[in-house]
Amino acid sequence: MAMSSRTAPSTSASPKRWWALVVLALTQLVVVLDGTIVTIALPQAQQELGLSDLERQWVVTAYALAFGALLLLGGRVADYWGRKRTFLVGMLGFGAASAFGGLSQNGAELIIARGLQGVFAALLAPAALALLTVTFPSGRERNTAFAVFGAVAGAGAAVGLVLGGVLTEFADWRWCLLVNVFFVVVGLIGGMLLVQESKTEGNNRYDLVGAVTVTLGLGSLVYGFSLAEHGWGQIQTVGFLALGAGLLVLFVVVESRVAQPLLPLRVVTDRVRGGAFLVQMIVGSVMIGALLYVSFHLQIVLGMDPLLAGLATLPITLSITAMVPVATKLLSTIGPRPMMIGGPLVSAIGLAYLSRVTADGSYLAQVLPALIVLGLGMAFVFVPLQNLALTGVAPHDAGAASATLNSALQIGGSIGLSVFTALYAARVADVGGGSRLDALTSGYSVAFLAAAIGLVLASIIAAVFIRGSKSELLPQGPDTEAAVSVH
């Protein structure tokens, strides 16, 4: 069945498409770095606002949870209402929520602001990725555009740590939120001038039952994982995990029966795309969850101030950036499968090395080599991942597919952070006596090792699911656009 999507045919041939790529990549940078930019500022914010440790975790979790849980609905809004229109509304709301958070006077206001940021990011992110898909529909230019977009998305978490350190040190932790207003202004102007509108045609209806079940299901699941810090066997932990799993099963049943599903199951049941989504979840757990504990180790154990701690994470970004051109060339030479298998293994080596940190160890000997290796491996994942997840998707499903990819990152980050926190807390409690720094470092080590094991699992998933020749996985040429418009 052929599906039509009203796009601006001039976009893919216009030189403005590369400037549009800059705007869309900037958007992705903002929504990803906001998952970590407050991380460096958390110790200062906790002291000023009197946050408890649980509230401190929810400053990070509220954003990722709202973002991930509402992304599928945001993707369908973009498809039906108009991707450019959704992009602009999401950008405006994101800026307003950021301003509210920067001016918050207590922990509740800050957590609410972070949740609102996640709500509007759920509109913004799938609209941006869907616009990229229709702006670069096929060929070598598509590979280049997705490589740039993926690298920016991948480096965003680390960039957030650096930017958060600079702002916290020289201004105030509040500027970690207020700085978004600058990005929003640039995004709004660029979006209005450079991005062409596109949306699906026909009688489109929103799947409200699907939206409610998946939102509550993901929310319950992530909240259940967040409670695991107090024990996996606690009735609340088990109850919310079971409720979340049950609601997600109900969501699948609903999607298989409604005429216009929120998430057409064909988007995720494709073996290659399904594998890409699973890998993205694990990558999210590492880049959002594990990096939080890197920040804690740098500041609490090694005694770095916020600026130095932020700069100390910069090697991740630099190694990703340095390897992106190499990975982009290799993508067209060897194809995505070897990169998706090997990249996570390289990053796992870096995290396994990082798990050897000690309270009296040095940054240069114990942390720096691990961050460089982590970034090198991630570059080989980020370059092909976005493209793999969206290749072969019909234009009618572009928003839903891009939302699923973003949702996998954010939900993976939320679950990863919760799991790492539970493992960390259990380890610190087990250590008992001894110095506080030794206990903290032991907890961080367990979190880093768990992240390394997760990346090994990501490599196995890639080997099992991402199969096919280079031309099958990343089709080239003018026929591609026609092929993806039929399902």
Q: Are residues 389 and 275 in contact, defined by beta-carbon separation less than 8 angstroms?
A: no
Mean pLDDT of the chain: 81
| pLDDT value of residue 138 | 65
| pLDDT value of residue 230 | 72
| pLDDT value of residue 99 | 93
408: in domain = yes
487: in domain = no
Helix and strand element counts for the chain (H, E)? 21, 2
The alpha-carbon radius of gyration of the chain (Å, integer) is 21
Domain boundary (227, 246, 261) is at 261
Query: Which parts of 366-468 fold into alpha helices (H)?
Result: 368-390, 398-431, 436-465
- For the entire predicted model, the pTM comes to 0.75
457: in domain = yes
Tokens of 437: 């720094």
At which residue do the structure tokens 């965003």 appear?
A: 156
Question: Average pLDDT for residues 151-172, to the nearest whole number?
Answer: 75
Pair 220, 369 in one domain: no
Nearest C-alpha neighbor of 195 from the set 29, 77, 24? 24
CA–CA gap between residue 78 and residue 399 (Å, rounded) = 6
pLDDT at 336 over 50: yes
Domain extent at residue 240: 207-261
480: in domain = no
482: in domain = no
Q: Are residues 445 and 290 in contact, defined by beta-carbon separation less than 8 angstroms?
A: no
Pair 70, 146 in one domain: yes
Q: Are residues 6 and 199 in contact, defined by beta-carbon separation less than 8 angstroms?
A: yes
Domain boundary (221, 236, 261) is at 261
CA–CA gap between residue 258 and residue 267 (Å, rounded) = 15
- For 194, 304, 387, the CA distances from 10, given in Å and listed in that order, are 12, 51, 22
3-state secondary structure (DSSP) of residue 105: coil
Pair 166, 267 in one domain: yes
Residue-wise pLDDT tens digits, 355-377: 999 988 899 999 999 999 999 99
At which residue do the structure tokens 């880049």 appear?
A: 287
CA angle, corner 19, sides to 335 and 398, nearest 5?
55
10: in domain = no
Tokens of 254: 């609903």
Pair 151, 229 in one domain: no
| pLDDT value of residue 129 | 77
Could you say which DSSP state residue 258 is in? S
Pair 267, 361 in one domain: yes
Q: What is the DSSP string of 271-299?
A: HHHHHHHHHHHHHHIIIIIIHHHHHHIII
pLDDT at 103 over 80: yes
Pair 347, 417 in one domain: yes
Pair 104, 163 in one domain: yes
73: in domain = yes
Amino acid at 224: G
Pair 81, 182 in one domain: yes
Strand partners, 5: 200
Query: pLDDT-based confidence at 95, cuts 50/70/90?
Result: very high
CA–CA gap between residue 82 and residue 86 (Å, rounded) = 6
Pair 244, 296 in one domain: no
Pair 89, 226 in one domain: no
Of 9 and 248, the one with more pLDDT: 248
Pair 37, 159 in one domain: yes
Query: Phi and psi of 312, rounded to 5°?
Result: -70, -20
105: in domain = yes
Amino acid at 249: V
Domain boundary (220, 246, 261) is at 261
CA–CA gap between residue 407 and residue 64 (Å, rounded) = 9
CA–CA gap between residue 401 and residue 395 (Å, rounded) = 10
CA–CA gap between residue 14 and residue 437 (Å, rounded) = 57
Tokens of 53: 């440790």
CA–CA gap between residue 41 and residue 178 (Å, rounded) = 13
Query: pLDDT-based confidence at 112, cuts 50/70/90?
Result: very high
Question: Average pLDDT for residues 124-142, to the nearest whole number?
Answer: 76
Query: pLDDT-based confidence at 142, cuts 50/70/90?
Result: confident
Pair 170, 296 in one domain: yes
CATH of the domain at 402: 1.20.1250.20
Q: Are strands 199-200 and 5-6 parallel, antiparallel or unpaired?
A: antiparallel
pLDDT at 482 over 60: no
Buried b (16+ CB within 10 A) or exposed e, 9-33: eebbeeeebeebbebbbbbbbbbbb
Q: Are residues 342 and 458 in contact, defined by beta-carbon separation less than 8 angstroms?
A: no
Query: Phi and psi of 45, rounded to 5°?
Result: -65, -40
3-state secondary structure (DSSP) of residue 7: coil
Domain count, the chain: 2
Question: Average pLDDT for residues 167-193, to the nearest whole number?
Answer: 86
| pLDDT value of residue 66 | 82
Question: Average pLDDT for residues 322-351, to the nearest whole number?
Answer: 89
